[in-house]
């Protein structure tokens, strides 16, 4: 698993904007990177490691109210009302981070002023730092199942009883602070105590700590040569309940990348909207032009086809095609069609002469002069062979020749 950089900022009781940092492995063991300085220097030391921010515990109020509901969303809504009387500040200004609800329905809650947390994160962001988790140092103080843990850190002291939420108290005077935490002659029962302190803090607070020996079951003292951060970093590596919840939650995937892409998406959305608007304008213009052309087409069709009310035509195309078919029928099956069949059937050797032609209602009547009746019959059969109906209506002798009347009807008749 990748390393983490545990960043302690702001430093408790510090008048500067400095920070302290320590790189640890997945098990919380230091890897050798330990520094103190500006946030810019911390950003240079981060080197792609997962960043964990440790903030002063006195700025985070811890409690465990009993709530009837189960489920994150409902619990988050109930917490402000449950803690309204316990917090000195207005609950509207507080950011709440929830731990895991226990079987007794108690929910660990960390409350911190929203503006304070936002300010810390903003200063880190200016330095190019983005924490994956934020923990108060009080929650990172070891929870020992058999000992009360006391961490003396300058002018403050953190006291953590087994399985209980820690207390952050003013260390001056230390004896009174420990007594208010339930350690001392007035304690109801003797406890086993482990005290952590830097050499400088131990030199100053040793008398107050040694005074506890007569009222506790056992007392152990461990000096922190490198300060409290290595002790706290172990808890940071194993996690706790993260303050980055709700509005401060770290977003990943699409949600994390969305702010970067929002301007480009806005431009794309504007382009799409403009394109759709142009398509709409073009559609309206084309529809208007189509209506105008259609009106002109109907008017022209009515004029050419001699139709009184062309707008009632179901289809101009169908009307024109009908007229074309009718004209084609006249050409192929009417006068021209029958005369074409007659011309094709004519044999110059028969000595046949066309005397007259008349056409009415698809019927062509011919008066034909021939040398004899058999020639007229041959002509009739020849015309029939070309697909045109032909009937010899009669034949009359004139001098030495015969005049016959032929009736021809087109193929459709």
**Backbone dihedral angles phi then psi of residue 153, each to the nearest 5 degrees:** -130, 85
- pTM metric for this prediction: 0.62
Pairing, β 353-360 against β 363-370: antiparallel
Residue 321 domain-assigned (yes or no): no
Residue 304 domain-assigned (yes or no): yes
DSSP for 120-162, please give it.
HHHHHHHTT---SEEEEHHHHS---TTSEEEEEETTEEEEE-T
277: region left, alpha or beta (phi > 0 left; psi from -120 to 50 alpha):
alpha
Over the stretch 31-56, which tens digit does the pLDDT of each residue have? 989 999 999 999 999 988 999 999 99
Neighbours of 206 (CB within 10 A): 14
pLDDT at position 412 is 47
Quick one: which of 411, 385, 271, 245 has its CA closest to 329? Answer: 411
Judgement on whether residues 301 and 246 belong to the same structural domain of the protein: no
Overall number of domains in the chain: 3
Look at residue 392 and tell me whether its pLDDT is greater than 90: no
Strand partners, 63: 109
Over the stretch 149-184, which tens digit does the pLDDT of each residue have? 999 999 999 999 998 999 999 999 999 999 999 998
- Rounded to whole angstroms, the Cα distance separating 128 from 68 reads 42
Residue 307 domain-assigned (yes or no): yes
Residue 329 domain-assigned (yes or no): no
At 256, the pLDDT band (50, 70, 90 cuts) reads: very low
Residue 372 domain-assigned (yes or no): yes
Whichever domain contains 368, its CATH number is 3.30.1360.100
Judgement on whether residues 96 and 180 belong to the same structural domain of the protein: yes
Angle, in degrees to the nearest 10, between helices 373-384 and 335-345: 120
Judgement on whether residues 142 and 237 belong to the same structural domain of the protein: yes
CA-to-CA dists, residue 95 to 68, 92, 118, 140, angstroms: 21, 8, 10, 20
pLDDT at position 413 is 46
Whichever domain contains 59, its CATH number is 3.30.420.380
Give the up-direction half-sphere exposure of residue 202: CA atoms within 13 A in the CB hemisphere.
14
Judgement on whether residues 153 and 298 belong to the same structural domain of the protein: no
Mean residue pLDDT of the chain comes to 84
Judgement on whether residues 244 and 107 belong to the same structural domain of the protein: yes
- Rounded to whole angstroms, the Cα distance separating 223 from 231 reads 11
Judgement on whether residues 30 and 154 belong to the same structural domain of the protein: yes
- Rounded to whole angstroms, the Cα distance separating 312 from 137 reads 89
Judgement on whether residues 173 and 271 belong to the same structural domain of the protein: no
Judgement on whether residues 302 and 364 belong to the same structural domain of the protein: no
Look at residue 329 and tell me whether its pLDDT is greater than 80: no
Residue 322 domain-assigned (yes or no): no
Domain end (from 233, 250, 267)? 250
Judgement on whether residues 85 and 165 belong to the same structural domain of the protein: yes
DSSP for 48-92, please give it.
TPEEEEEE-GGGSEEE--B-S--SHHHHHHHHHHHHTTT-SS-GG
- Which range, 125-134, 243-252, 278-287, is most confident? 125-134
pLDDT at position 1 is 53
Residue 350: which H helix or E strand, with range? none
Look at residue 326 and tell me whether its pLDDT is greater than 80: no
pLDDT at position 333 is 60
At 198, the pLDDT band (50, 70, 90 cuts) reads: very high
Residue 324 domain-assigned (yes or no): no
Quick one: which of 300, 342, 331 has its CA closest to 317? Answer: 300
CA 174 to chain centre: 56
pLDDT at position 83 is 79
Domain end (from 250, 266, 294)? 250
Judgement on whether residues 135 and 44 belong to the same structural domain of the protein: yes
Judgement on whether residues 281 and 157 belong to the same structural domain of the protein: no
Question: Residues with Cβ < 8 Å from 254, sequence gap 6 or more?
Answer: none
- Rounded to whole angstroms, the Cα distance separating 300 from 316 reads 10
Residue 326 domain-assigned (yes or no): no
Domain end (from 206, 225, 250)? 250
Which residue range is the domain that position 355 belongs to?
A: 335-409
Judgement on whether residues 287 and 340 belong to the same structural domain of the protein: no
Over the stretch 59-93, which tens digit does the pLDDT of each residue have? 999 998 888 766 666 667 777 777 777 776 788 89
């Amino acid at each position: 698993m990748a390393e983490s950089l545990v960043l302690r900022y702001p430093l408790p009781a510090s008048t500067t904007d400095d920070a302290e940092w320590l790189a640890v492995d997945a098990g919380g063991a230091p890897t050798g990177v330990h520094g103190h300085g500006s946030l810019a220097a911390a950003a240079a030391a981060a080197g792609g490691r997962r960043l964990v921010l440790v903030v002063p515990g006195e700025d985070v109020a811890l409690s465990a109210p009993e709530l009837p509901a189960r489920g994150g969303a409902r619990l988050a809504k109930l917490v402000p009302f449950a803690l309204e009387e316990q917090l000195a500040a207005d609950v509207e200004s507080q950011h709440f981070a929830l731990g895991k609800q226990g079987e007794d329905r108690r929910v660990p809650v960390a409350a911190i002023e929203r503006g304070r947390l936002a300010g810390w994160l903003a200063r880190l962001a200016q330095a190019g730092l983005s924490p994956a988790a934020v923990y108060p140092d009080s929650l990172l103080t070891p929870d020992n199942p058999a000992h009360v843990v006391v961490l003396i850190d300058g002018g403050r002291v953190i006291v953590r009883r087994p399985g209980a939420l820690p207390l952050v108290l003013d260390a001056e005077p230390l004896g009174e602070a420990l007594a208010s935490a339930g350690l001392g002659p007035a304690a109801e029962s003797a406890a086993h105590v482990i005290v952590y302190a830097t050499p400088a803090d131990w030199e100053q607070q040793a008398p107050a700590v040694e005074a506890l020996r007569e009222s506790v079951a056992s007392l152990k003292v461990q000096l922190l040569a490198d300060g409290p951060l290595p002790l706290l970093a172990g808890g940071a590596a194993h996690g706790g309940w993260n303050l980055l919840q709700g509005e401060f939650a770290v977003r990943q995937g699409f949600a994390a990348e969305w702010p970067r892409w929002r301007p480009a998406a806005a431009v794309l959305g504007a382009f799409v909207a403009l394109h759709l608007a142009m398509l709409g304008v073009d559609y309206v213009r084309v529809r208007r032009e189509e209506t105008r052309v259609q009106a002109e087409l109907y008017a022209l069709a009515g004029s050419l086809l001699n139709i009184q009310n062309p707008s009632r035509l179901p289809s101009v195309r169908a009307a024109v095609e009908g007229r074309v078919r009718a004209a084609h029928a006249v050409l192929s099956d009417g006068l021209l069609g029958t005369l074409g069949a007659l011309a094709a059937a004519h044999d110059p050797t028969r000595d046949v002469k066309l005397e007259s032609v008349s056409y009415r209602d698809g019927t062509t009547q011919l008066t034909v002069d021939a040398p004899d009746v058999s020639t007229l019959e041959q002509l009739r059969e020849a015309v029939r062979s070309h697909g045109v109906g032909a009937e010899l209506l009669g034949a009359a002798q004139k001098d030495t020749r015969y005049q016959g009347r032929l009736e021809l009807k087109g193929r459709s008749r």
